[in-house]
Amino acid sequence: MSGSQLLKDKVVVVTGAGRGIGRGIALLMGAEGASVVVNDLGGSSSGEGHDAGPAEEVVREIRDKGGKAIASTESVADWASANVIIDKTISTYGRIDCVVNNAGIVRDRIFHKMSPEEFDAVLKVHLYGAFYISRAASTHMKSQQSGSMIHMTSSTGLIGNLGQANYAAAKLGIVALSKSIALDMVRFNVRSNVVSPSGWTRMTSGVPTDRPEMKALIEKAKKGMPPEKVAPLTCFLAGDAAKDVTGQIFAVRGNELFLYNQTRPIRTIHRSEGWTPQSVAEHMLPAFEPSFTPLDVINDVFSWDPI
């Protein structure tokens, strides 16, 4: 087995680990000495279908390199099946040291055409799934007095993107969920962080390429942001080297690592006699307007090519 064995004797659950970013994380964690529960429903990028093949293939790859792994094909979007995933982990390995909430689907649609079903389906997998898996693992981590939870957020939620209101709401919700877990569980030596990954996967392959500039952008993304690039930071956060790291928002973009700021007041204005709608318009607006956040999308903020 290769690797530095950073995660020797650790037991990890990686959801959505059959392909893309999750696969890269599971393979590296296995190489670093972890016993890996490779969870993947095996559905399409929009959530339909069920295929045990992807999870079993990743398990074979880990074992062929001398690692330890088992497959799990239960859905994270259901409380009972999420508990099955964690129970299977405990019954097989006797403990759980890390969960990586990576499973996800997309149902992209411009907002005024998005159906309640499309909104609900995405939240169930991303936000509810992260809660279900983390909550099921939390009692075991509390008893162990140790553990790490790592949740995948997205620049769609942190910054903004077109046609992804469901995905953005879920991914920004995960940031708040992670912070709450970090606050509640720090007394039990359990950590929680989020990672915003950038990688060319089947979930991003549906981006339209009808315009030449979009086609060129996608080719750069394929070359500069392979999904395996997300794995090293995630493995670090799972291990003891990150024992003091919790409640943070990280990002990976090719060979670049980022630390995001978190929402805090940036301007204040006071009026001793209180406010009326008119005084808000006359005094607050001109004071605050220069500091308004522009209506950016991801490419406005990350305006350079992946490094």
* Residue 216 pLDDT exceeds 60: no
Domains of the chain: 11-262 (3.40.50.720)
Q: Name the catalytic one among 128, 132, 167, 260.
A: 167
* Residue 206 pLDDT exceeds 60: no
C-beta of residue 174 within 8 angstroms of C-beta of residue 218: no
Q: DSSP of 104-142, one letter per residue?
A: -----B-GGG--HHHHHHHHIIIIIHHHHHHHHHHHHHH
Mean pLDDT computed over 157-166:
97
Residue 167 annotated to the active site: yes
- What distance in Å separates the CA atoms of residue 128 and residue 101, rounded to the nearest whole number? 10
Mean pLDDT computed over 140-163:
97
| Helical segments of 50-128, H only | 53-64, 79-93, 116-123
Q: In this predicted model, what pLDDT tens digit does every residue of 222-265 receive, in sequence order?
A: 666 899 999 999 999 999 999 999 999 999 999 999 999 999 99
Q: Tell me the pLDDT band of 33, cut-offs 50, 70 and 90.
A: very high
Q: What are phi and psi of 161, to 5 degrees?
A: -155, 160
* Residue 214 pLDDT exceeds 70: no
205: DSSP letter? T
Q: 296 — alpha (psi -120 to 50), left (phi > 0) or beta?
A: beta
Residue position matching structure tokens 């075991």: 140
